[in-house]
Structure 1
Amino acid sequence: MFCQNLFEARKSTTQYCSANCAKKAYKDRKRQERIVHATQENLEKLSAPLKELQARDYLSVEEAATLLGVSRWTIQRAIKRGRLQTLKVLGRRIIPQKSFNQFLNNQYNESHATQTSQVQW
């Protein structure tokens, strides 16, 4: 029932009280399908560049920032503090994928260690 009105069905397959109610339910169902489809398309469009970046052997500072969802200045600070190893090629800093993954693992381990030490029973 779309309109929430009680009705007596003539057949066991009747789902709606009237043709109007059936049309409204159909439109609502199609609207929901369009929303789901549009959401899936948007996710695919957004995730395509990330998948491409993850497949690279070397990343620029901007690309690393995009992958982490932080600003490039955050990546620059990590480089300056020695937490993220880079190579300098023709005046540009590039980050090897291995170094980037190691940085992520270290960050995860540090945050996980502080969270478990804060848990009190």
Structure 2
Amino acid sequence: MSASQTLPLENETSPAQTDTREPVRMDVIEQIAAMAEGTERSALVWGNTDRATTAAEALWVFARRVGLDGRGDDAFTAVQDLIANLMHLCEQEEITGGEVTFTSLVGIAEIHYLAELDENIKL
């Protein structure tokens, strides 16, 4: 993967190391993911809470698979590792390449996220 396909590092310090808030532990993600249990196979998404729940479910499955599901593990690490693994998948399967970089996918996702936040505010 070329450097242009990765996200630029703005500094050498990880945000997790400088943030003064208590990190979210994976047991919290497990509790959120559990809210999706027993739902229809195709999740009905009515709003941002449903979006967050389906993301927690995916993150929890990933964390269990790679051993980041301990009560002391933090969600920051699991999210970071999942994103890195998604980058590998996108490169390997040529989901990204050429003008379509992982950074561009993240940018489009952010546009969707911001639009969904606006939808929630208008309700």
Larger Rg: 1
- Larger relative strand fraction: 1
Higher relative contact order (CA 8 A, sep 6+): 2
Instruction: Work out whether the TM-score is over 0.5.
Output: no
TM-score (norm 2): 0.28
